[in-house]
Structure 1
Amino acid sequence: MKGKRYIKEVMLVPSLAENLLSVGQMTEHGYFLVFGDHKVDIFDDSSLSNTVVSVKQKGNWCFTLTFNTIKEVALKTNVQECSKIWHKRFGHFNFRSLKLLQSQAMVLGLPEIQNGEVLCHGCVLGKGHREPCPKESKWRAKEPLELIHSDVCGPMQTTSLGGNKYFITFIDDFSRMCWVYFLRNKSETFHVFKKFQVMVELQSGYHVKRLRTDWGGEFISANFLQFCENLGIERQLTVAYSP
């Protein structure tokens, strides 16, 4: 054999007494093997002119090939596993309990847990909570139409007989009286509010002083805001999908 030859893509099995070389692996890396006369000849190319090595067959029908080896057959490295990875593997388990599992040897292979104060964005989103909404408002209207709550619901899956897909509610904070109007489109919200305002003010003798809605585009259009400003109606905007 002339020169050096390298066998790539091998796996280290420390408990294995002998090295096993696959014929398929040899052919995949460009070598040509010829079996016969109780031996195998390994060649560099298809011309079969340059013999790499010739290996005789042993009594167990195996072909034993002896390699020249050096002491540093493998390199070992120490990788410090990230505690955050183990935190995720255990379903975002808290770090204090992970340290307890490790100190009590309750989990095989669990390394020493560090960085217990690392912020986990998944835990912040999944385990965060908000304070419960109060059952009663801290402030209530003292007279009719002092505060009107309003919201639009829709679009509905089924259109009404009148061709409407939405409805809007107006609730008086003082009396809890509720008015419901049906809408074909959200763009009709401003027009319906003006109808509602004229009707309730004429019938009750009071004036709408405050209108509380969410930040829906149908409530904060330029025309709507300008109309309320001209009449002195205070606008109160709340977070969507909250009481």
Structure 2
Amino acid sequence: MTYSKEYMKNYLKISPVDVHLADDGVVQAVGKGDIIMSMRTKHGVKKGVLTGVWHIPKLTRNLFSVGRFTKDIGPVTFESDGCFAQSKSVKWQLGTRKGKGLFKLCMTPLMPDEANVSSSTGFNGTNRSYLWHLRRGHIGHNGLDSIVNKGYGIGINITSAQQWEMCQGCALGKQTRVSFKPKSPESANKMLEVIHSDVCGPMQTASLGGSRYFVTFIDEYSHFSVVFILKNKSEVASKFAEFVAFAET
């Protein structure tokens, strides 16, 4: 199960399915698809495909089901140096021993474009100029056309660079964001008139007390600031009330 749709291929919307979590919460799966993973084997890093992955936007972590994997792919073994899965003639390493009886997944999801960059066969119907755009580090159309016309690209099996549709990686990499204004349109004139807040988490490693979030409250007028450590995001409202009471004293 994953909260991120961007890594999924063959995505299909489904009727919402309720999924019950360990904390008794309920979230909904709204789609499913395949995710190409980069995984370790004794012959080096290879690509494998996790099929039928559920898309659950409200998840905060990706979840991997050993039971589902053993049913669809093959047996999983937990050994002294890691967690392994056997699929036909390939032994995949799914995780490494982290300590304290825990294993950490060592699979890396690949973007659909990224997963196909090294493909030596067809490119799922996309023109080969786009494939070489990816292979040459997202080179522009004019640059690729120049390489082809001047004969600089040994092994590039195209005669001219054709235009391709929008490249998601290029679009994301060239995005800009409007800078934050140094002040609110109307500055505060007294304490607690304007409060700035932000919530961060969940953190990968919990605190000794089991907390994975923190929330900040900053009073714009006095710059009085407080940071609260949280076990759950649902504590934000009560911590805000605590901040107000503390600031008023």
Q: TM-score range by the shorter chain?
A: 0.3 to 0.5
Q: Rg larger in 1 or in 2?
A: 1
Normalized per residue, the structure richer in strand is 2
TM-score w.r.t. the length of structure 1 is: 0.40
More RCO (CA 8 Å, sep 6+): 2
TM-score w.r.t. the length of structure 2 is: 0.39
